[in-house]
Chain A
Amino acid sequence: MLKVLKNLKKSWVAVLIIVILLCIQAWMDLSLPDYTSKIVNNGITQAVQNNDSGGTDYILHTGIEMLGIVLISITSAILITFLSSKVAAKLGKTLREKVFKKVLSFSRSELTEYSTASLITRSTNDVQQIQGLIAMMFRVLVYAPIMGVGAFIKVLTQSNNSMAWIIGVAILAILFIIGTLFIIAMPKFKKFQTLIDRINLVSREILTGLPVIRAFNKEKKEESRFEKANMDIRKTDTFISRIMSMMMPLLTFLMNSTMILIVWYGGQNVDQGILQVGDMMAFIQYTMQILISFLFISILSIMLPRAAVSANRIMQVLETEPSIKDKEQTKAFDQSKKGLVEFKNVSFRYPDADTEILEDINFTAEPGKTTAIIGSTGSGKSTIVNLIPRFYDATEGQILVDGVDIRDVSQKELRNIIGLVPQKGMLFSGTIESNIKYSNDSMSDEKMIEAAKIAQAEEFIEAKEEKYESSIAQSGNNVSGGQRQRLAIARAIAKDPEIYIFDDSFSALDLKTDRKLREELTKTTKNKTVIIVAQRISTILNADQIIVMDEGKIVGIGTHEQLMKDNETYKQIALSQLSEKELGGDV
């Protein structure tokens, strides 16, 4: 929590002014009872005693002074609100920006560690939480103690403070009531949270399992499961709500009793002549101020842990060092080995995993040739291509691009020469144009159209009313999966890279388009290094070399014919997709 607050440093002037203004406001608000006291003690008492009419003038005069005080108070209140809103919003902005930048520097390992969903909540909801708290903090959390302390000073500097103990007793009583209620309710609060999770889970299960539930005619069973979870919530929630509903009445009662106590003892003090009636009235008001301050602090301190959780979640992200960084001195690529990708004894495992995802991978992908990687899910084929642009770093061995270890060149340079087409054809909101020109804003339109043509995307783009200006929604959700993949391919082609990586990028295309696209692509990628990860055997039949993966290891490298002859894993995959006849009949 404190670490997050350190981000307020930049606004320290504003914070200082806020605190000063808060003090002024508190003092002003506390002075009002003084004036009432004066009116009673000096104005009324004198007038009644001496029958003199000077009292009225005195009261009027005091009234004008009071108005002045009220004006100062509202002015500072408005200024405080203004400044604290700005400070809070600024903090929110800064935190959002910091988290966002940090996440952009993360590699895949950090991303998996936190999960994307969690990072999103941390950047948005959690920051929002803090922002809300800070805005409140000045007006309530900082103000209440200032007010409390001010009132204490007022009480202590009064000519007579023999009743100060009443305040102490009252504070203890407040703390006792709130504390007891919370000790009773806290365990139930925690339980309530898990019960809410539980009912959410049951609801989600019912919703996702709808076809199954109906197919097995199990509606009643699911309903009773829900009812049970619901009953648990009802019981716990009733208990908590009842405890909480007792809090305000009890506290009000406590404050009222305090007043009764003050009047009783105050009366005796007045009788003994050590206290004036006006002072007693002022004392009542100070005491109320102090008690209310304590009340707010204790209620807020219960809210604080929630904000502290958010703060911790944000700090966690900010304090995470990205595992992949550029070296201080980076090397340049070897121009004579342009386009060469070499894997030398590469192994990889996730930080906390026991098993290797990749084990001792060795192969070379040459320019002008197509290297295909095939294998069942979980065999590690996508991981291989994720290592090339350094989304992860290999745990052992080295990967060379253009003859240089990729850890020695800058990430920027490395990624500059790679054209990646991801599995799901991830697009960004904007237009078709902004997506194809993603690698370079100033790309010529001809180049963009050319890329779209090769990617077989021209047809559907031209069919759209706004052609290349057609808008693309968040993550490309307004175009079909196949169109998304084609645009993603166009985006990579437009970049004109040395090395093409297709990570299962043809899966959403129908077979005809798939074929046509690959034909066109072959022309463009003639002198380039092409690495294709595929599920469909038909996609890779013509590759120069096919790498067969199984459980993280390479179990065979060769052409289709070679592998069909001597590789069992490859044969199995092929047979499951194509009949023997189609594969030549004699295998």
Chain B
Amino acid sequence: MPGPMKGKPVVKAKNFKKTAKKLVRNYLWEYKLRLLIVFIFAIGSTIFTIVGPKILGNATTEIFSGFMLKVSGIGGIDFWKIASILLTLLSLYIVSVVFSIIQGFTMTSVVQRLTYNLRNELAQKINKLPMNYFDKKNNGEVLSVITNDIDTLSMNLNQSVTQIITSICTIIGIIVMMFTISWEMTLISLIIVPVAGFIVGFVAKRSQKYFKMQQDYLAKVNGQVEEVYGGLNIVKAFNNEEKTIEKFEKENNKLYKSAWKAQFLSGLIHPILNFVSNIGYVGVAVVGGYFAIQGKITVGNIQSFIQYNKQFMQPIEQVAQISSMLQSMIAAAERIFEFLEEPEEPKTLNGITDTSNIKGNVEFNHVKFGYSEDKIVINDFSANIKEGQKIAIVGPTGAGKTTMVKLLMRFYDVLDGEIKVDGNNIKDFDRGALRKMFGMVLQDTWLFGGTVQDNIRYGKEDATEDEIIRAAKAAHVHHFIKTLPKGYKSILNEESSNISAGQKQLLTIARVILADPKVLILDEATSSIDTRTEQQIQDAMDNLMKGRTSFIIAHRLSTIKNADLILVMNHGDIVEQGTHEELLAKEGFYADLYNSQFEDCNDEIDM
């Protein structure tokens, strides 16, 4: 009977051999002893199963000849002999089932250990990759490696290894068994195999084509559905329902046509093999009958042969499946290895780890940076920031205001020049220690599923409850936490959707307050938060900034004006720098930006 997934399109690996070698050498080899057990027991179990039909056939023969003797009146069926044959057979089957269970258990443990280790390796790898890797890849792609690819690998590895062994053993074993009965009949059974192989190969190739088509049209239909559902308001606002349906029906119809063809062709494989098997059956019955009359073989032999003939097709069908299983398994492994082999963030050996005396002087010295070599966004930036100063970064949306932040935290490295903290190049710091000096509050708040307390404590693992409450108070979030059903022990759910965006922001501020960093990096709240919370966040941030060097991604005029230094960014580049007054006097981009925002307003004031 056909399996549900048969004939589904296979994503081929780019380099099958290399990846397969890697998989065996770096991962499977570790389990060579267990795999040996799997091999031995799989082969053993298959052999015992294969011998079965022949022995059972002997019992039938015994009955037949006994019956013949009885009819001739010179004897009868020897039940003792039959009983001993059947008991032998039964014990063979018991051994076989025990063997295959041992084999299954061992294989499972190999596969589970392997995938467990791989998953951990992947998770650790995420933390070792440079940040710019995640600019190129979206989270979904990485997640898909951890979940889908690992799943595919584990499932197919388990099945394919076992099936390869048993299928090959079965095929060889059956051929051997058949030959021991009658070579002429074996040839009849075998002659059909290449014919079947050819037909199946032909059909499979065709069906692959349609499966590919089906996949393409499916993607198109999915795309359309996504787009239309996402923009349903617009479809309706412009009375475009009918046109949209028409367009959908067109694609849907194409999908239907390729879908049934793909389904049909892949569905043919099983009947064809069945047909071939049946032809073999007829051949065996007829020739077997003829040979039996001639006394060349026994009646029981016919029965055994029929059973072998039936069993023969199954591994052949499986071999066809295994090749596609292997393909998708290796393709998955390839993606996993690719991810694991991505270049990692360079390690700083013997970097400075003690940052307790750092004051927070930050110096930019002829910094040059670009996300890629040919797209330089910061050409030559120098600035000297004294401890406790406030630096505002302004510019239109998408101007790359967070670039400076990323450089400071060493999420990216400068191409040329240097950034110093208290006179030490940031590259000389241990990465972890460097990052701990900075406190960061971004607009994309990140909380994890856990209690409120755990989330605040993230900033300082050994903080006492008292310290946590103090931090929460400074962040103006203590009162809110108290209103939660379980206070500090309340659990934030998966998407932290049980608290509002503003409160999330306050919690992250509390976290940073608790961490007590030397330098702050703040992304000011925009108007996406209601006014009262906004005020609270502002107050909390002001609390936080006292006495610390702060970099602020600014949206607010008050921040800009008080800043000791304003960096004006546009199209990813720092176009101007200076204080508010200096920049206005310059009448450049900043002045332009500033004035255009308030021109209307000034007009009115003039009136």
A93-B256, A376-B529 as given contacts; A70 in contact with B292, CB under 8 Å? no
A164 at the interface (CB under 8 A from B): no
Interface membership of chain B positions 378-422, coded 1 if the CB is closer than 8 angstroms to chain A and 0 otherwise: 000000000000000000111000000000010100000000000
A-B contacts, CB under 8 A, total: 449
Which of chain A's residues 413-444 have a Cβ closer than 8 Å to chain B? Answer: 415-416, 418, 420, 422, 426-429, 438-439, 441
A528 at the interface (CB under 8 A from B): no
B515 at the interface (CB under 8 A from A): yes
Interface membership of chain B positions 419-443, coded 1 if the CB is closer than 8 angstroms to chain A and 0 otherwise: 0000000000001110110111010
Q: Among the listed stretches A131-139, A166-174, A345-353, which one makes contact with chain B, having 4 or more residues with CB under 8 Å of it?
A: A131-139
Q: Select one of A59, A209, A389, A584 contacting B290, CB under 8 A.
A: A59
* Cβ B268 vs Cβ A207 within 8 A: no
List of B residues within 8 angstroms of A416 by Cβ:
239
B547 at the interface (CB under 8 A from A): no
Chain A CB within 10 A, most for which of B59, B123, B131: B123
A213 at the interface (CB under 8 A from B): yes
List of A residues within 8 angstroms of B442 by Cβ:
211-212
Interface membership of chain B positions 289-324, coded 1 if the CB is closer than 8 angstroms to chain A and 0 otherwise: 110110000010011001000000000000000000
Give the interface size bracket for B toward A.
Answer: 35 or more
Rounded to whole Å, the gap between the CB of A210 and the closest CB of chain B is 6
* Cβ A376 vs Cβ B530 within 8 A: yes
Interface membership of chain A positions 554-587, coded 1 if the CB is closer than 8 angstroms to chain B and 0 otherwise: 0000001100000001001100111100111100
* Cβ B223 vs Cβ A120 within 8 A: no
- Dominant secondary structure of chain A at its interface with chain B: helix
* Cβ B104 vs Cβ A242 within 8 A: yes
* Cβ B275 vs Cβ A70 within 8 A: yes
* Cβ B248 vs Cβ A97 within 8 A: yes
Interface membership of chain A positions 130-164, coded 1 if the CB is closer than 8 angstroms to chain B and 0 otherwise: 01100110011000100000000000000000000
Interface membership of chain B positions 227-260, coded 1 if the CB is closer than 8 angstroms to chain A and 0 otherwise: 1111111111111110111001100110111011
Which of chain A's residues 54-109 have a Cβ closer than 8 Å to chain B? Answer: 55-56, 59-60, 62-63, 66-67, 70, 73-74, 77-78, 80-82, 84-86, 88-90, 92-93, 96-97, 100-101, 103-106, 108
B263 at the interface (CB under 8 A from A): yes
Interface membership of chain B positions 137-181, coded 1 if the CB is closer than 8 angstroms to chain A and 0 otherwise: 001001100110000001000100000000000000000000000
- C-alpha spacing A491/B461, complex, angstroms: 54
List of B residues within 8 angstroms of A40 by Cβ:
289, 292, 299, 302
Interface membership of chain B positions 1-18, coded 1 if the CB is closer than 8 angstroms to chain A and 0 otherwise: 110100000000000000
A44-B293, A379-B530 as given contacts; A214 in contact with B70, CB under 8 Å? no
* Cβ A271 vs Cβ B77 within 8 A: yes
A116 at the interface (CB under 8 A from B): yes
Interface membership of chain A positions 212-246, coded 1 if the CB is closer than 8 angstroms to chain B and 0 otherwise: 11111111011100110011011001100110011
- C-alpha spacing A235/B444, complex, angstroms: 35
* Cβ B127 vs Cβ A219 within 8 A: yes
Q: Select one of A209, A211, A438, A441 contacting B448, CB under 8 A.
A: A209
B449 at the interface (CB under 8 A from A): yes
Q: Select one of A207, A277, A415 contacting B126, CB under 8 A.
A: A207
A66-B286, A70-B278, A100-B225 as given contacts; A263 in contact with B59, CB under 8 Å? yes
Residue of B nearest to A388 (CB): B237
Residue of B nearest to A585 (CB): B605
Q: Select one of A116, A206, A379 contacting B230, CB under 8 A.
A: A116
A85-B263, A281-B303 as given contacts; A70 in contact with B279, CB under 8 Å? yes
- C-alpha spacing A120/B241, complex, angstroms: 17
- C-alpha spacing A74/B13, complex, angstroms: 36
- C-alpha spacing A56/B290, complex, angstroms: 6
* Cβ B263 vs Cβ A97 within 8 A: no
Q: Select one of A85, A104, A120 contacting B235, CB under 8 A.
A: A104
* Cβ A210 vs Cβ B131 within 8 A: yes
Residue of B nearest to A551 (CB): B530
* Cβ A199 vs Cβ B604 within 8 A: no
* Cβ B59 vs Cβ A215 within 8 A: no
Interface membership of chain B positions 45-64, coded 1 if the CB is closer than 8 angstroms to chain A and 0 otherwise: 10001001000100110111
B111 at the interface (CB under 8 A from A): yes
Residue of A nearest to B236 (CB): A415
List of A residues within 8 angstroms of B556 by Cβ:
576
* Cβ B267 vs Cβ A203 within 8 A: no
Chain B CB within 10 A, most for which of A207, A418, A422: A207
* Cβ B534 vs Cβ A576 within 8 A: yes
List of A residues within 8 angstroms of B448 by Cβ:
205, 209
- C-alpha spacing A222/B123, complex, angstroms: 9
List of A residues within 8 angstroms of B83 by Cβ:
264
List of B residues within 8 angstroms of A47 by Cβ:
293
- C-alpha spacing A229/B472, complex, angstroms: 30
A81-B267, A242-B105 as given contacts; A541 in contact with B600, CB under 8 Å? yes
| 10 further contact pairs, Cβ within 8 A, besides A55-B289, A73-B278, A241-B158 | A36-B306, A62-B286, A203-B147, A207-B142, A214-B409, A215-B438, A267-B66, A429-B224, A439-B238, A511-B596
Q: Can you pick out 21 interface pairs between chain A and chain B where the beta carbons lie within 8 Å of each other? A: A32-B282, A59-B286, A60-B290, A81-B271, A92-B259, A101-B245, A103-B229, A104-B232, A135-B263, A222-B123, A222-B127, A230-B116, A256-B89, A260-B90, A271-B76, A277-B299, A411-B236, A475-B227, A511-B593, A515-B599, A538-B598
Instruction: Identify the 5 closest CB pairs spanning chains A and B, nearest first.
Output: A245-B104, A63-B286, A77-B271, A89-B260, A85-B263
